[in-house]
Amino acid sequence: MKRYSAVTHEGHRRDHNEDALLAVPEFGLYLVADGVGGRAYGEVASALTVETFRALAPKIHAARQAYIDQPDRRTRNGVLESLNVSCQAASRRVYEEAESESRRGMTTTLVVAVVGGGTIFLAHVGDSRAYLLREGELLQLSEDHSMVNELVRTGQMTYDEAKRSRYRNVITRAIGLQPGVQADTAAIEILAGDRLLLCSDGLSDPVNALNISRHLGLSDRDQAAQMLLQEALDAGGPDNITVLVVDPDASPRADIAAARAEVMSQVFLFADLSFNAQARVGRMVNDQRVSPGEVVVRQGDTGNRMYVVVQGILEVSRDGLVIATLGPGDHFGEQALVDAQPRSATVRSVGFGSLVTIERQALDEFTKREPEVGSQVLWKLLRTISSRLRDTTSQLAEGRK
């Protein structure tokens, strides 16, 4: 059964199309590239990128299949790493072609998704975009690597000013700009009814989010893709336009996935992060199922991970006395992300449930790989531990009176 629809058009102001797309549904691989560099050069860059990913598709699929067979942090990151390796290969190939053929400045943007095992794996470079339509809400999965987006993000320019800026099409990262490239990667679990959109800026620039959402929500996927294209053309069609719409299969653990998505958006480490950033922190989390009576942590033992309750009820006891119960959204063990002090209590599952866990080493690896998002997470952790320390100090002071 076909699960995608794709259209591409040169637009009203260009006489050729430098965009390229790739759909390999049997491998769950979908890609949009927007070539940069002028007539012929941009076309070559985007075409070489498509060729590179087509050649590497079996390796990407092998990583995808490993995740489908055994979904966990290791296999999830394996798919993301396969996408990263492919981005590096594409950048090196485009760069070498540009150098050897005197086509300097020939580059391309890239947004690529792998769908499988109830998860969307995403990598992007430049300002081509990925969106997710979820329960009528349009979520931007990618963050533009562009000059104006950097200025907006740092508060030096408003969104409206960015839309009018002469530099709005200047990108800060591209495939082929250097032999290597820094690609953003993320993993998003699929909920029932989710729809994925990959597009070039020929759609996202002239068409606002409200109209993208309205057309993307049409029940007929082919019609949705055509209406999005037509909307961009009606808005002047100032650039090449590529639209790729995918209806992915929901996670086989849909109930847990929905609960995890809700918890992850509220837990103190990730609250207030953009949806894009929350998807990227998936690199450092793992899942744990628990059974009735199962001890999650034991008083006196040392540990290296923090826990967040997704489903179920946990009982906290100290010296054999029950002192608290924990439910969905509650967390414990965050200090283990800083040092290996003995656990102050025993935590036992009352019934069946599921948890999200974060290990100290995984947090360290993530902050090195994603320093900007990682620093935000570390500051949230520091503030929480500092607050807890102040409370403990206050309680000790009260006890001395």
**Last residue of some domain: 251, 283, 311?**
251
Whether residue 149 is predicted with pLDDT greater than 80 in this model: the reply is no
| Same-domain pairing of 284 and 148 | no
The CATH number assigned to the domain holding 117 equals 3.60.40.10
In whole angstroms, give the CA distance from residue 216 to residue 241: 15
| Same-domain pairing of 185 and 286 | no
Question: What is the residue-wise DSSP string for 84-133?
Answer: HHHHHHHHHHHHHHHHHTT-TT-EE-EEEEEEETTEEEEEEESS-EEEEE
Residues 290-322 pLDDT 10s: 999 999 999 999 989 999 999 999 999 999 999
**Last residue of some domain: 225, 251, 277?**
251
Inter-residue contact 370 to 338 (CB < 8 Å): no
**Last residue of some domain: 251, 281, 308?**
251
pTM of structure:
0.88
| Same-domain pairing of 9 and 125 | yes
Residues 267-294 pLDDT 10s: 888 888 888 888 888 889 998 999 999 9
In whole angstroms, give the CA distance from residue 387 to residue 399: 18
- Residue whose token pair is 């009018």: 164
| Same-domain pairing of 337 and 247 | no
In whole angstroms, give the CA distance from residue 156 to residue 72: 40
In whole angstroms, give the CA distance from residue 228 to residue 207: 8
Residues 15-56 pLDDT 10s: 889 999 999 999 999 999 999 876 568 999 999 999 999 999
Split at pLDDT 50, 70, 90, the class of 151 is: low
In whole angstroms, give the CA distance from residue 316 to residue 299: 10
Locate 179 and state its tokens: 């032999």
Locate 280 and state its tokens: 């990227």
Question: What is the residue-wise DSSP string for 134-190?
Answer: ETTEEEE-S---BHHHHHHHTTSS-HHHHHH-TTTT-BS--BTSSSS---EEEEEEP
| Same-domain pairing of 224 and 273 | no
Percent of the chain with pLDDT over 70: 90
Q: How many CA atoms lie within 13 A of 168 on its CB side?
A: 15
Identify the H or E element spanning 296.
strand 295-297
Instruction: Choose among 291, 294, 327, 325: nearest CA to 308.
Output: 327
| Same-domain pairing of 334 and 207 | no
Residues 54-103 pLDDT 10s: 999 999 999 999 999 999 999 999 999 999 999 999 999 999 998 887 77
Predicted confidence at residue 270, as pLDDT, reads: 87
| Same-domain pairing of 234 and 260 | no
For 299-345, list the strands marked E by DSSP: 305-311, 314-318, 321-326, 331-332
Predicted confidence at residue 165, as pLDDT, reads: 60
Question: What is the residue-wise DSSP string for 201-254?
Answer: HHHHTTS-HHHHHHHHT-SSHHHHHHHHHHHHHHTT--S-EEEEEE-PPPPTTH
Inter-residue contact 317 to 339 (CB < 8 Å): no
Split at pLDDT 50, 70, 90, the class of 124 is: very high
Residues 133-148 pLDDT 10s: 999 999 999 999 877 6
- Residue whose token pair is 């690896």: 365
Tell me the torsion sign for CA atoms 219, 225, 227, 232.
positive
Which structural domain, as residue segments, surrounds residue 178? Answer: 4-251
In whole angstroms, give the CA distance from residue 174 to residue 18: 14
| Same-domain pairing of 297 and 154 | no
